[in-house]
Amino acid sequence: MRFIPYGNQCIDDNDIEAVTRVLRSDYLTTGPQINNFEEAITDYVGSKYAVAIANGTAALHAACYAAGIEEGDEVITTPMTFAATANAVLYCKGKPVFADIDPITYNIDPKDIERKITKNTKAIIPVHYTGQPCDMDSILEIARRYNLTVIEDGAHALGAKYKKRNIGTIGDMTTFSFHPVKPITTGEGGCITTDDEELYERLKLFRTHGITKDFSFEQGDNLGSWYYEQTGLGFNYRMTDIQAALGANQLTKIDSFINRRREIASIYSNELKDLEGISIPKQLDNTSSGWHIYVLKLDPNKLNRTRVFNQLKEKGLGVNVHYIPVYYHPYYQELGYKTGICKNAEELYDGLITIPLYPKMTDDDVWYVIDTIKQVINYNLN
């Protein structure tokens, strides 16, 4: 029987050659491929700097560190994200504060961000959920007024645009993930983009133990070339050259990946927009989504989500749910977060199903997904 996952990588012989070339070279890590990949990212995104890092979670952790998040600091984010977004704040001993989503775009609602600001708020982490950019003008305006750092979680949104501006050039820092289901892949991997030189230096330090060899050589010849200094507490969050070579090669194909994602999403929207019992994701005119995932919202009065989900799965669709609101998880409940704090996110979660979407899907796959959804939904309507 056929099985169509919700997301999947797209690797060709060229990618494999790029990787094997590195395996035959002198550097497996922290060699020329890292610089090359970082330059390719800054060229593509249009940011001044990029820091390649071990994964998207490490990118968020590094960004929170660079923003100076410490014990007692509050950081506002959305519950409609992967737990890593909020976990990064906890890694820095900060407190994640959840602002509700807009029920139309499913992205964080700027009005609720402002309601959740206290004297301890230091940063905002908007997540471009499904690849559709958040309302960045409103978020930046609030950030300016309250002097907050904006870290965009762009894990879904490499290649997306907000009012013609590339995601990765808008907030103080933007993080990306190169996990296999994301817009491009390095196996595991991530990066942070920024235009701020000071943040860039902090990000680089954090990636490699807080150790630097770049200092002013005021003491001149007194320092031997073995010398280095640890000036902060960083981690080993380095990306390998093997991964960076794959990433740079993947990036040459990102436009075709995203065009295919857009094409599939548009067929889905056309075919499913009038189907009773479900809502398709609303796209704003001034944004261009990276279409990382395509989510359906079921009307709980007409359809039982669990039943529909299981039947889609039985018919070979690798459906998923993105996301369980972060604070529903037992770990967060034990930290004191209560159910009910973000009503729109909770309501969305109750009806969510992620359906397959990735560049390698054939037209036949796409129509199988559509026909299966129509059949299952119609069968289940009350």
Ligand X SMILES: *Cc1c(COP(=O)(O)O)cnc(C)c1O
| Binding residues for ligand X (CB under 6 A) | 55-57, 81-82, 84-85, 127, 153, 155-156, 177, 179, 190
The residue sitting closest to ligand X, measured at its beta carbon, is 56
Beta-strand (E) ranges in the chain? 4-5, 49-53, 74-77, 95-98, 121-125, 149-153, 161-162, 165-166, 173-177, 190-194, 211-212, 229-230, 278-279, 287-288, 294-298, 317-318, 352-355
- Which of residues 34 and 155 has its CB atom nearest to ligand X in the complex? 155
- Which of residues 133 and 190 has its CB atom nearest to ligand X in the complex? 190
261-to-26, 157, 236 alpha-carbon distances in Å: 37, 12, 34
Q: How far apart are CA 349 and CA 297, in angstroms?
A: 8
Least distance (Å) between residue 245 CB and ligand X: 18
- Which of residues 4 and 125 has its CB atom nearest to ligand X in the complex? 125
Write the DSSP symbol of residue 341. S
- Which of residues 45 and 88 has its CB atom nearest to ligand X in the complex? 88
Least distance (Å) between residue 218 CB and ligand X: 39
Least distance (Å) between residue 155 CB and ligand X: 3
DSSP labels, 48-67: SEEEEES-HHHHHHHHHHHT
- Which of residues 9 and 57 has its CB atom nearest to ligand X in the complex? 57
CB atoms within 10 A of CB 2: 9
Least distance (Å) between residue 171 CB and ligand X: 15
- At position 131, the amino acid (one-letter code) is G
Closest by Cα among 75, 323, 59 to 194? 59
Q: How far apart are CA 372 and CA 368, in angstroms?
A: 6
- Which of residues 177 and 289 has its CB atom nearest to ligand X in the complex? 177
CB atoms within 10 A of CB 71: 8
Least distance (Å) between residue 382 CB and ligand X: 33
- Which of residues 47 and 177 has its CB atom nearest to ligand X in the complex? 177
Least distance (Å) between residue 274 CB and ligand X: 30
Closest by Cα among 208, 168, 209, 158 to 192? 168
Least distance (Å) between residue 68 CB and ligand X: 21
